[in-house]
């Protein structure tokens, strides 16, 4: 650790730095992408439609949903409608990244939006909030690097078809682990931990009553709004509250900067 490593990092070619930044997602996309390709093949997609769906939709959850709905012969309109509710949460990802992408060109914004998903959003959000030098163009290339791994894995999955058998719940855990990691690194004070637990209960509650992933959107909106309101209230009355006191980080990451300073 330290300066020597930082120096050797700066010398790495650009594509290597992007690959390094996106590697955790790239690697977990290989088994999940293969499984997804196999399922799409089983539900009647050929290699070309698999290629098309992995580039144009680029969302693991959505593609698994398409495969399972096609297997049950759901009508096209209802598949698209369910996709809409599933993808609605991306509006939140875009909103929370918007301050880092402010003032970019229309073309760039459209390109960035087209291949944004949960996983590369997780990577980019962490990068933007900890690394001041991280640019929107690097973020776009991180998206495209994950897209390449996803698409190739989908295609290979489609080609090997039904030849192998993958336990989907186990493979899917790679993404769960990724999100768990993202939660852990963001738990910086007592209030965030409370909001995290609250969000968990709200998510279960809203998903059970809406019977769809719309519950994800509702719980995220509610929990984040409560967090924002509580923080504003605490700051008003007790600026030195222990709920907002930063916690010690056992691994000690010097790159971590306080987000309050930049807005």
Partner 1 sequence: MEWNTTQHVWLILGCFCVAFAPRLIPLMFFRTRKIPNWFNEWMRYVPISLFTALVVKDLFISPEYTVTFVNRAPEMIAAVIVIGIAYWTRSMAISVVLGLLAVFLLAMVV
Task: Identify residues 174-203 at the interface with partner 1 (CB under 8 A).
Answer: 174-187, 192, 195-197, 199-200, 202-203
Report the sign of the C-alpha dihedral through residues 132, 136, 141, 142, in that order.
Answer: positive
CB of 13 to partner 1, least distance (A): 20
CA distance 136 to 109: 10
Give the residue ranges of DSSP H helices in 161-240.
168-186, 190-210, 214-237
The answer to the question of residue 207 lying near partner 1 (CB under 8 A) is yes
Interacting residues with partner 1 between 221 and 240 (CB under 8 A) = 223-225, 227-228, 231-232
For 260, what's the count of Cα atoms within 13 Å in the CB-facing half-sphere?
7
- The mark string for 17-36 relative to partner 1 (x by CB under 8 A, - otherwise) is ------xx--xx--x-----
The C-alpha atoms of residue 130 and residue 120 are separated, in whole angstroms, by: 15
Among 73, 162, 165, 239, binds partner 1 (CB under 8 A): 73
- Please give the size of the binding site for partner 1, defined by CB under 8 A: 104
Is residue 241 classed exposed, middle or buried when 0-12, 13-18 and 19+ CB atoms within 10 A define those classes? middle
Asked if 52 contacts 150 with a C-beta cutoff of 8 angstroms, the reply is no
Write the CA distances from 164 to 36, 87, 88, 145, integer angstroms. 12, 30, 33, 26
**What residues numbered 109-148 form the site for partner 1, per CB under 8 A?**
109-110, 112-114, 116, 118, 122, 125
Under rule CB under 8 A, residue 12 binds partner 1: no
Which of 87, 144, 152, 189 binds partner 1 (CB under 8 A)? It is 87
Asked if 42 touches partner 1 (CB under 8 A), the answer is no
Q: Least Å distance between CB 14 and partner 1?
A: 20
């Amino acid at each position: 650790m330290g300066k020597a490593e930082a120096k050797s990092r700066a010398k790495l070619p650009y594509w290597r730095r992007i690959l390094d930044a996106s590697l955790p997602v790239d690697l977990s996309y290989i088994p999940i992408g293969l499984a997804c390709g196999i399922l799409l093949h089983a539900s009647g997609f050929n290699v070309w439609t698999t290629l098309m769906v992995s580039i144009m939709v680029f969302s693991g959850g959505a593609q698994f949903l398409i495969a399972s709905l096609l297997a049950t012969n759901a009508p096209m309109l209802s598949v698209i409608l369910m996709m809409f509710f599933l993808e609605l949460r991306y509006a939140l990802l875009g909103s929370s990244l918007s301050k880092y992408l402010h003032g970019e060109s229309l073309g760039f914004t459209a390109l960035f939006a087209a291949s944004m998903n949960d996983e590369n959003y997780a990577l980019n959000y962490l990068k933007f909030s900890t690394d001041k030098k991280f640019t929107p163009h690097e973020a776009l290339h991180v998206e495209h690097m994950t897209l390449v791994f996803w698409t190739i894995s989908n295609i290979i999955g489609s080609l090997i078809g039904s030849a192998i058998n993958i336990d989907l719940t186990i493979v899917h855990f790679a993404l769960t682990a990724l999100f768990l990691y993202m939660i852990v690194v963001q738990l910086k004070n007592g209030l965030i931990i409370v909001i995290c637990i609250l969000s968990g209960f709200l998510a279960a509650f809203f998903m059970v009553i809406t019977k769809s992933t719309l519950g994800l959107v509702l719980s995220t909106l509610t929990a984040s709004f409560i967090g924002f309101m509580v923080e504003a209230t605490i700051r008003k009355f007790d600026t030195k509250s222990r709920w907002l006191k930063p916690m010690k980080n056992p691994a000690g990451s010097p790159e971590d900067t306080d987000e309050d300073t930049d807005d």
